[in-house]
């Protein structure tokens, strides 16, 4: 039987589900602490909408870009533009793109870029898979 009305949304969900199965089978995850940050100079630098990779994010809706910053120890395993899956962080779980770097004082940590009015949060023992 051939499915009827298979749209892009269904294909995308299927693609993401398949990615998750492949990732889980092929690698052990990095166990990381996850925090969130916004495009605020007090949390970044004097150019908060420009990431370390040179990517420019929206000031009003930066969350739409699915950007994460990684600690420098993780940067040894990841490159700018790499896609990763983060699990164990509730509604923030999902696929993100590495586009920013954290201060060198942090280890085994990632920062998820959120919108200015979103609640700041922190998770311990999240799992990070490289896609």
pLDDT score, position 46: 87
> Which ranges of the chain would DSSP assign to H, the alpha helix?
8-26, 72-75
Rounded distance between C-alpha atoms, residue 31 and residue 129, angstroms: 9
Whether 125 is covered by a domain: the verdict is yes
Whether 76 is covered by a domain: the verdict is yes
Q: Which residues of the chain have pLDDT under 50?
A: 1-10, 23
Whether 61 is covered by a domain: the verdict is yes
DSSP collapsed to 3 states, 2-33: CCCCCCHHHHHHHHHHHHHHHHHHHCCCEEEE
Question: What is residue 60's three-state secondary structure?
Answer: coil
pLDDT score, position 7: 47
pLDDT score, position 15: 55
pLDDT score, position 9: 47
Domain count, the chain: 1
Domain that holds residue 47: 28-130
Instruction: State the DSSP code for 120.
Output: P
- Beta carbons of 123 and 109 less than 8 angstroms apart: no
């Amino acid at each position: 039987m051939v499915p009827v009305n298979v749209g892009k949304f269904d294909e995308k969900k299927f693609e993401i589900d398949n990615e998750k199965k492949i990732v889980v089978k092929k690698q052990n995850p990095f166990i990381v602490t996850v925090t969130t940050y916004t495009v605020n100079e007090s949390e970044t630098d004097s150019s908060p909408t420009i990431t370390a990779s040179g990517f420019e994010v929206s000031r009003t809706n930066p969350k739409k870009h699915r950007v994460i910053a990684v600690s420098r120890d993780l940067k040894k395993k990841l490159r700018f533009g790499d896609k990763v899956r983060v699990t164990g962080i509730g509604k923030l779980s999902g696929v993100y793109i590495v586009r920013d770097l954290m201060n060198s004082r942090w280890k085994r940590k990632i920062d998820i870029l959120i919108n200015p009015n979103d609640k700041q949060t922190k998770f311990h023992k999240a799992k990070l898979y490289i896609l």
